[in-house]
Structure formats: structure tokens, C-alpha cells
Amino acid sequence: MIRNVLSIAGSDPSGGAGIQADLKALSARGVYGMAALTALTAQNTQGVSGVHPVPPHFVADQINAIFADIRVDAVKIGMIANAAIANAVADILARHRDVPVVLDPVMIAKGGAALLAADAVDVLTTRLLPLATVITPNLPEAAALLHDAEAKNREDMARQARALAALGPSAVLVKGGHLEGDESPDALASGDHVTWFEAERLPTKNTHGTGCTLSSAIAAEIAKGLPLAEAVASAKAYLAAAVAAAGQLSIGSGHGPVQHFHALWATNKE
């Protein structure tokens, strides 16, 4: 049976991040992707120039329409935009506690633009985190959620992962892509236990949408029935291959997207 995954996130017209990246990753991982939009953005590979939030009641209408008619095997949450939307999403998901939730706390775009209003951080922390099967913050996002300094090493990452787990999610995956050095490790905390997922840092600027892609791939694997640690390992391997193949694409002059369909699209060979 093909599994169904709902992404609740913002739109990226350049196709590299947000809902567009989510649907590509979900499709590439073999599940049926659905989407409820929380915001429209004006952005490209060079940055975000505008954000237009969807009215909270209409965000709720989209999600309710899906749950009223379609089996949802997992939910991925990305850009929430503001407190009112965060509350609307939390109200609905609290009625569907049997559905796994992967929460990617999208707060800052790669170019530095704020994608989450300051008043939404508390709502995200107190209402959405406790509903999550796993949250997937990068180092700046983990620090912002904890009002702490950004992690500089593995010890900091493990400590912050445990601290975030204490706020209510079943598990926390702190992503180490912002660490200095040749490695890009991720720390998965469930309670006091931390599991490490290792990866080499790939020399490329084409990393637009990596967080969206990873969280969506995790949601796909959970929907298909994989235990969380196996879902993370599978999703991380998929993302690494997508980043490695990003050079197959020619998209913009800034941070280009990853190649979501690296395993499916034939490329010209000399």
C-alpha cells in the first residue's frame, strides 16, 4: 500500500525548498505527498525577498479537508510563519495524536531572512514540540529554541538535543551541518540516549532546501513503517546522494537545490 504524507509548510517558487522540496522528496521516497500551505514566499537561490502568510483559518481549512477525506500516515511540518498559524496547526494535530509528526522548526532562511515571527517561537515550543515524533533543528535553530549559544562541537550538540527532548517531543535530531570541519554529524536524542549519524561534508554550495528534504524523507520512511533510527539513517543517506548529485542541475546563481530525483532521472553520459 502506498503511504500518504501531508506536508504543512510554505511555498518556494524556485522549487528548491519548502512545499516544493517536500513533495519532490516524498515522491522520490515512494510515498504520496499532500500539501497544506502556510505562506507564500518570494525567493530564489540568492535569498528571500518577501513572505505572505496564509490566513490561519484557511491553513486550518486545508488540513481539515485532508483529514476529512484521506488517510494520513505521517505529517511533516515546515515553515509555520507566525503564532496564529502555529496555534491553528496545533489545535488540529492534537486531535490526531495517532499520526506521526516530523517537525522541522524552520526559523531562518539560508540567506539570513527570518521565516518565523518572534511571537511564534513560544507557541512552537509549548504546543507543537510536544506533538512531535521527532524534531529536526539545525544548530542555529536548536540554539534559538533553547535561548542558548550555538553548538560548536559534538558535546554541545548532544547536550542541546537532550535539552530539547525534555521539552516534549519523542525524539530530537540535531543536525551538524553548521559545524566547522570535514564532517557533518547528526545527533538523535530520545530521552537521555544519543545516537550519532555520521557523514562527510560535501564541497558544494548547492544546499538549498536540505532541511526540508531531510525532514520530508524521514516522514516518508516513518510512514512506510521504519523505526525512527532506521528512518533517519535512510533519509540521511538519500539526502547525501541528492547533495552529491546537485551538480546535475543548473538552477540560479546562488545556493542551488539538491537533486531530489538523482536515482530516477537519467543523465547524459559522454
Show which residues are catalytic: 175, 207, 209-212
Cell numbers describing residue 174: 540535531
Residue 170 phi/psi, 5-degree rounding, is -65, -30
Q: Are strands 32-44 and 186-190 parallel, antiparallel or unpaired?
A: unpaired
Residue 19 phi/psi, 5-degree rounding, is -55, -40
The radius of gyration of the chain's CA atoms, rounded to the nearest angstrom, is 17
16-42 burial by CB neighbour count: b if 16+ within 10 A, else e? Answer: bbbbbbbbbbbbbbebbbbbbbbbbbe
